[in-house]
């Protein structure tokens, strides 16, 4: 059975700890010397100074435990070749890295005006059929607080407002798109289990004091009910065709 460990890379000349990562042990061999997937900073350091490997902690039965220890050690030592702490599920992007990434993307027009061909759209659509990666995914209360704080006090500059306005100027929907939007608008009318009808989930939420997002979740099948009547009966929702 494979176990997990936390390892470090040190420079040969100055013995500087410049990288910390998670690896597995298999047949008593540590697969921590791989040069694949290393970032440009790591390669630059290794090319100039060389490196050696040391195991910092080992015998973790699951990867999650090893990643927690990895992040703890990364925050403690701040190795310069670790631009992102942790793995994809438990990721911490450093402020300095965010600045570097932002500067690198300035003036990047590689995807400006890019449009997928109909063939590419069909392939992407087919590949996503049955994809349940984010199905049932809910943000933790901690994440909600962080997102709320990040948006508070955010001011869109006049320059950005002008750019957004110009981007939408002269844009015309295709007849096919207009028809789809028209049909979608007809479906926005909702009715609850007591026959009360509303023009939209938002209107229903305002009148009954229920979050519109909860009503929408019921309509999409993610929740069974949203809100309660004074008698305690839970309220169910569905769309109805307006005539």
For residues 186-194, average pLDDT: 73
Q: Give domain 186-239's CATH architecture.
A: Orthogonal Bundle (1.10)
84 C-beta neighbours (distance < 10 Å), count: 13
What does pLDDT average to over the chain? 82
| pLDDT the model gives residue 242 | 67
pLDDT tens-digit series, residues 8-62: 999 999 999 999 988 887 644 445 667 777 888 888 899 999 999 999 998 888 8
> Does the structure show a pLDDT above 70 at 89?
no
Give per-residue pLDDT as tens, 135-158: 777 888 888 888 888 888 888 888
Q: State residue 164's pLDDT score.
A: 86
Please say if the pLDDT value at position 182 is more than 60: yes
Task: Give the global pTM.
Answer: 0.42
- Domain range list for the chain: 3-100, 186-239
Q: How confident is the model at residue 167 (pLDDT cuts 50, 70, 90)?
A: confident
Convert the pLDDT of each residue in 114-128 to its tens digit. 888 999 999 998 888
């Amino acid at each position: 059975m494979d176990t997990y460990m936390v390892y470090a890379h040190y420079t040969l000349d100055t013995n500087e700890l410049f990288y910390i990562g998670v690896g597995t042990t298999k047949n008593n061999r540590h697969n921590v010397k791989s040069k694949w997937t290393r970032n440009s900073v790591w390669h630059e350091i290794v090319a100039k100074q060389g490196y050696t490997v040391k195991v910092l902690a080992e015998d973790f039965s699951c990867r999650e435990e090893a990643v927690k220890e990895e992040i703890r050690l990364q925050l403690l030592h701040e190795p310069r070749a670790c631009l992102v702490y942790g793995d994809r599920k438990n990721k911490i992007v450093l402020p300095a890295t965010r600045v570097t990434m932002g500067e690198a993307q300035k003036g990047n027009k590689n995807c400006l005006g890019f449009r997928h061909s109909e063939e590419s759209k069909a392939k992407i659509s087919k590949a996503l059929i049955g994809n349940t990666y984010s199905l049932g995914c809910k943000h933790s209360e901690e994440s909600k607080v962080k997102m709320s704080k990040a948006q508070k006090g955010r001011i869109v500059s006049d320059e950005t407002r002008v750019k957004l306005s110009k981007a939408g100027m002269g844009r015309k929907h295709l007849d096919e798109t207009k028809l789809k939007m028209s049909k979608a608008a007809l479906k926005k009318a909702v009715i609850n289990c007591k026959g009360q009808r509303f023009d939209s989930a938002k209107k229903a939420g305002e009148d009954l004091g229920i979050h519109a997002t909860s009503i929408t979740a019921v309509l999409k099948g993610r929740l069974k009910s949203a809100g309660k009547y004074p008698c305690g009966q839970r309220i169910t929702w569905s769309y109805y065709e307006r005539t």
